[in-house]
Amino acid sequence: MQFETRPIVFYGLWLLTFLGMPIGGGLARLIVGPADTVVRSLLAGALAGAVIGLAQWLMLRQVRPIGPVWIAATAAGLGLGFALAQALVGNSMGATEVALRGLICGAVIAALQWLASRDVVPNAWIWSVAVFIGWPLAWTITRAIGVDLSQNWVVFGASGAIVFAIITAVALGVMTRLSVQIR
C-alpha cells in the first residue's frame, strides 16, 4: 500500500467515514421512511449502503485499487442484509434481535465487499472479518447507550458508527502491515 499522505493523516481521515452512516440513514429515512417492512428495509438499506459505500470508497481508493463496484457491493449488502434481518426478526429491538440484525447485515455486507475487493486487495478477508464483527457490535453499542431503536432506522447511531470506523481502521492497519511483511 502506498500512502500519498502520512499514514496517521489517512487513519484520522478514515475515522470521518463514520459520517456516511448517519447521513445515509437519515437520507434513507427521509426518502423511504422507517425500515419497518421487508421492502422498505431493502430500499432503505440499499440507499444508506450506497452512501456508506461512497464514503468508504472515497477514502479506500487512496490506498487500495478499489473501483466504484465497492459502492454497489455495500449498497446491495446492506439492502439484502437488512431485508433478511427484517424478515427474520421483524421490528423487535431486544438485545438479541439487535445483535442478530447486526450479525446478518455484517455477514452479507462482508461477503459482498470481499467479492468486490478480493482480486485487488491483499488480505481482503481481514476487512470482511472486521465488518462481520463490527456490525453487531455497533448495533449493540447503539442500543446500550439508550438510542431509541423503535424508530426503525436502517443503520446504527453515531456512537456505533464511530466504533465501526475504529474497528475498520484497525483492520486496514493490519492489512497494510501484513502486505508489507509479505513483500
| pLDDT tens column, 101-155 | 999 999 999 999 999 999 988 889 999 999 999 999 999 999 999 888 888 889 8
pTM above 0.75, yes or no: yes
Pick from 118, 109, 111: which is nearest to 138 by CA?
Answer: 109
What was the pLDDT predicted at 8? 74
What was the pLDDT predicted at 1? 44
- Per-residue pLDDT for 86 more than 70? yes
What was the pLDDT predicted at 179? 60
Q: Which segment of 1-10, 42-51, 110-119 scores lowest on mean pLDDT?
A: 1-10
In angstroms, rounded to a whole number, what is the distance separating the alpha carbons of residues 125 and 150? 33
Neighbours of 2 (CB within 10 A): 6
Q: Which segment of 48-52, 69-73, 134-138, 142-146 scores lowest on mean pLDDT?
A: 142-146
Pick from 89, 72, 102: which is nearest to 164 by CA?
Answer: 102
**All three cell numbers of 151:** 424508530
- Find the angle CA(130)-CA(155)-CA(50) to the nearest 5 degrees: 80
Residue type present at position 25:
G
- Per-residue pLDDT for 91 more than 90? yes
